[in-house]
Structure formats: C-alpha cells, structure tokens
Amino acid sequence: MISKTLMLIDSDTSQHQMLEEQLSERHYQFLNCASLQEAVVKSRHFSVDILFISSEWLTESSLPTFYQLKTHLPDLFTVLMIPATQSTESLNIPVEDIDSYIGKPLLPEMVKITLRQAETLLRRQQDADRAVRELRRQKSFYQHLLNG
C-alpha cells in the first residue's frame, strides 16, 4: 500500500488522537500544523496529499497564504472542517477551492468516508496523469518515425 500524507490545520486538539489513530490504520503520515504559515513551510519538505483545515483558519486575511499552499501543492485534496453551527454560505472562500466538507466535531465514520472520497479522487488524478504521459510518449515515438 502506498503511504499518503495528511496535513491538519486546527487549533482544537481534542480530536487529534482519534484522527491520528484512523490515519495510522490506513498507513497515512500525519502532519499537524499550528498555522497556515507552518503548513506552507512543511509543504516544502513533505509531499502532502490531503489537507484537513478548520474554517477558523480561512479568513480574508489568510487567503493569500492558503492560495500559496494550494499553488505549491496543486493536487492537494482540501477538506474544510466546519462547526455544526456554521454554514458554508458564511465562508469567504470560493467553493471551487474546497474538495470536501466535514462537520466538527469529527466523527470517525465521516472521517473514513471523506478519506475514501479523497483516495478515489487522488487515484483518478494519478490514472489521468499516467494516461497523459503515455500519450506524450506515443506522440514522441510517432513523430520520431515520421521524421525518421
């Protein structure tokens, strides 16, 4: 099984242990960040596949840092954690920048479902990337034959 890396940005540490246990069962590496700035720094040293970020970190002033992280990790599957009392309409972030939403407090079954969703999308992206590389290889081969 290929190991994936999940990064968490959340000031509420009450559920970190549950999340970390679930991730270790699925062979994930777990990176905990105290801020978006720390996440950007860690993203330079780790290949991160999935980001769980609490909605409290996505304010108007933090969006440039969030987009810096997304630019550095263009295939990052982003999960926004939202308290049950908050609606998605109250967020100041374009919906296309978020791949999935999950309620807080985190429920183990919802974490499993979200991880499966992320794994499926990441696998499809990898398959598409492989197909593009193969088409480029074939194109190069045929151009070589024609120019022969």
Span 64-113, pLDDT tens digits: 999 999 998 988 999 999 987 776 676 767 777 899 999 998 988 999 99
- How distant, in Å, are the alpha carbons of 2, 30, 107, 133, 135 from that of 69? 23, 17, 26, 26, 30
Query: pTM above the 0.85 mark?
Result: no
What's the CA gap between 54 and 70, in Å, rounded? 15
Please name the CATH architecture into which domain 4-147 falls. 3-Layer(aba) Sandwich (3.40)
CA angle 43, 65, 98 (to 5 degrees): 80
Q: What is the DSSP string of 5-36?
A: EEEEE-S-GGGHHHHHHHHHHTTEEEEEESSH
CA 85 to chain centre: 24
The pLDDT tens digits for 106-134 are 988 999 999 999 989 888 888 887 888 88
